Amino acid sequence: MCRKYTNLSATDIEKLIELEATLSYYAELTDCYMFIDCMMENLPHAIVVAEAYPKKQHGLYEKTVIGKFVFESFEPAVFSAFKNREKSSIPRAITQEGLTVEQNVIPIFNELQQVIAVLIQEKQVETLTQPDDFQNMPFALIEHIVAPNLQPIPVVSDLLVESIILTNHENKVIYTNPAGYRFISELSGLESFEQIALDKILPFLQEVYAEGDDVFFLEITFDRKSFIVKKIPIRNQNDKVTLLIIQDLTELKLKENELTMKTFAIREIHHRVKNNLQTVTSLLRLQMRNELSASNVTAFQEALNRIYSISSVYELILENEDNAEEKVDVIALSKKIGHKMVGTASSPSIQLAFHHENIQLFCHSKKAVSLALIICELLQNALKYAFVGRTEGIIDIQFFYNESTISLHISDNGVGMQEVKASFGMEIITRLVEYDLAGTFTIVPSERGTHTQIQFPVSEEVFIVND
């Protein structure tokens, strides 16, 4: 079963087989029911792979549960042990046959300290004896409770937006809360349905009832509506009763579809912006083919670099189909811009070096455009002024993260900056750093070459992603 439904190794499976051999002893020693559950490979559920019952106990389970799926909504302690890698307990869990048990769960580790399964101990919770007036109620906790003054007091089920429905052994409705009545009435067109099997009125529920006595849930789409249906069999009654809890997901699905459509629309806008930028770039390159002075060629190339920097932001966004948040990898962006600019520079021997200490720095598209232009301007200045009269050089781009601040350093081993002159490029850098990034721009004193530093705070739009 482990080989069929899980991705456990042969060594892991052998460890579980050894543990299975001891389960019956633990069951007898504690008068509890013991199970081993494993996570399934392709589904977000667990599966029971081993079991042991105390011999003298009346069985909680009428038949084996090996091979049964375990759902998180019914047995959260099982999944908590998997996720948190520590013991988990719950005083009232629902078994595969709808009985309430006390459940303790511990993770099972392999030699690599990976959780490969969980060991579960279950003990039946003693049910309180109800007065005779409540014995005949199909499910006392969700019925109306009649007070001594004979005035009905609605309990929690009447206030829920979820549909609460009880059916008998013939699948006929014996109780609904107001939401459940509206649910059946709207989908069936009937105002009275007490004497008709629910799976006949609503055929899409036949799959739920077909699962027999197992706790079960299923997502169903019917007549443009979406539902989550949870079924819980109730065995300790005079008559077999099935509890259905139905949650309407239609509005949620509609909002998800709207969000998806907006995401598609935004991605289409990004495509058009990128394509328009490429068109502008092509027009500028055509213009450059005409006879231009050296100063005009330089101006055109600087404009092309700025356009390419902006375009790079949209290319990185569009490369990831699942990038609904439009986040941009800043390190990848800086490398993309840097290699492009050095590749088109007049001095092909200039080398780029990147140092980022494995920082995963991301920002949203607006901030990414600002960072792209800042990096572009600083690299243009280095390529234009740092290596005059030289054929070789190194430009170093470094990212540092300290608590809540990001630092970007761009330095070179060139001739150095004698004085800071006002220019269009410097004005772009200063405005973008101060107004868009809420940061500071400084030129760091250096014995060799030029060293610039930009510091800006981490925020909702500029953030570090940790592994």
Q: Which two tokens stand for residue 7?
A: 């991705």
Residue 323 lies in a domain: yes
> Are 381 and 341 spatial neighbours (Cβ–Cβ below 8 Å)?
no
CATH of the domain at 73: 3.30.450.280
Strand order across the 361-364 sheet? 327-329, 361-364, 462-464
**H-run or E-run covering 325:** none
Residue 318 lies in a domain: yes
Give first-to-last CA distance, the chain, whole Å: 33
Say what the pLDDT of residue 143 is.
39
Residues whose CB falls within 8 Å of the CB of residue 298, separated by 6 or more in sequence, listed in order = 384
CA dist 143 and 134 (Å) reads 10
Q: Are residues 307 and 456 in the same domain?
A: yes
Q: Which residues pair with 120 in a beta bridge?
A: 35, 105
How many separate domains does the chain show? 3
Say what the pLDDT of residue 129 is.
46
How deeply is 165 buried, as exposed, middle or buried, from its count of CB atoms within 10 A (0-12, 13-18, 19+)? buried
Token look-up 């930009």 returns: 454
Say what the pLDDT of residue 235 is.
63
3-class DSSP assignment, residue 382: helix
CA dist 56 and 86 (Å) reads 31
Residue that terminates a domain, selected from 248, 274, 308: 248
Residues whose CB falls within 8 Å of the CB of residue 56, separated by 6 or more in sequence, listed in order = 31
The number of angstroms, rounded, from the C-alpha of 311 to the middle of its chain's C-alpha atoms is: 29
Say what the pLDDT of residue 149 is.
38
Q: Are residues 411 and 299 in the same domain?
A: yes
Distances (CA, A) of 327 to 61, 277, 316, 338: 51, 20, 9, 20
Q: Are residues 345 and 423 in the same domain?
A: yes
CA dist 312 and 341 (Å) reads 12
Q: Are residues 380 and 234 in the same domain?
A: no
- The DSSP call for residue 8 is -
Residue 132 lies in a domain: no
Residue 131 lies in a domain: no
Say what the pLDDT of residue 14 is.
94
Q: Are residues 228 and 257 in the same domain?
A: no
> Are 443 and 411 spatial neighbours (Cβ–Cβ below 8 Å)?
no
Q: Are residues 237 and 277 in the same domain?
A: no
CATH of the domain at 196: 3.30.450.20
Q: Are residues 237 and 116 in the same domain?
A: no
Q: Are residues 111 and 192 in the same domain?
A: no
Say what the pLDDT of residue 132 is.
47
Q: Which two tokens stand for residue 445?
A: 């004193």
Listed as own residue / partner, the contacts of 296-304 with beta carbons closer than 8 Å and 24 or more positions apart are 298/384, 301/344, 302/380, 302/425
Residue that terminates a domain, selected from 226, 248, 270: 248
**H-run or E-run covering 44:** none
Angle of the 365-381 helix axis to the 294-319 helix axis, nearest 10: 150
Distances (CA, A) of 318 to 78, 270, 365, 461: 39, 8, 11, 18
> Are 178 and 172 spatial neighbours (Cβ–Cβ below 8 Å)?
no
With CA atoms as reference, report the closest residue to 228 among 169, 312, 161, 314.
Answer: 161
User: How many C-beta neighbours within 10 Å does residue 346 have?
Assistant: 10
Which range marks the domain in which residue 353 is found?
A: 253-464
> Are 337 and 300 spatial neighbours (Cβ–Cβ below 8 Å)?
no
- In the chain (467 residues long), the average pLDDT of successive 10-residue segments reads 92 94 92 93 89 77 84 80 89 66 91 94 67 43 36 50 85 84 84 83 85 75 82 70 86 76 73 83 82 74 88 84 74 92 79 88 90 92 85 91 91 83 84 92 87 92 79
- The DSSP call for residue 172 is B
With CA atoms as reference, report the closest residue to 213 among 90, 101, 64.
Answer: 64
Q: Are residues 89 and 208 in the same domain?
A: no
Residue 129 lies in a domain: no
Q: Computed over its alpha carbons, how large is the radius of gyration of the chain?
A: 34
Q: Are residues 330 and 263 in the same domain?
A: yes
HSE of 14 in the Cβ direction (CA atoms, 13 Å)?
Answer: 4
Model pTM score: 0.50
Residues whose CB falls within 8 Å of the CB of residue 149, separated by 6 or more in sequence, listed in order = none
Biggest CA-to-CA distance, the chain = 103
Say what the pLDDT of residue 97 is.
62
Q: Which two tokens stand for residue 426?
A: 């410097």
Residue 417 lies in a domain: yes
Q: Are residues 183 and 259 in the same domain?
A: no
CATH of the domain at 278: 3.30.565.10
Q: Which residues pair with 100 in a beta bridge?
A: 94
Residue that terminates a domain, selected from 191, 221, 248: 248
Residue 120 lies in a domain: yes
Residue 130 lies in a domain: no
Q: Are residues 291 and 414 in the same domain?
A: yes
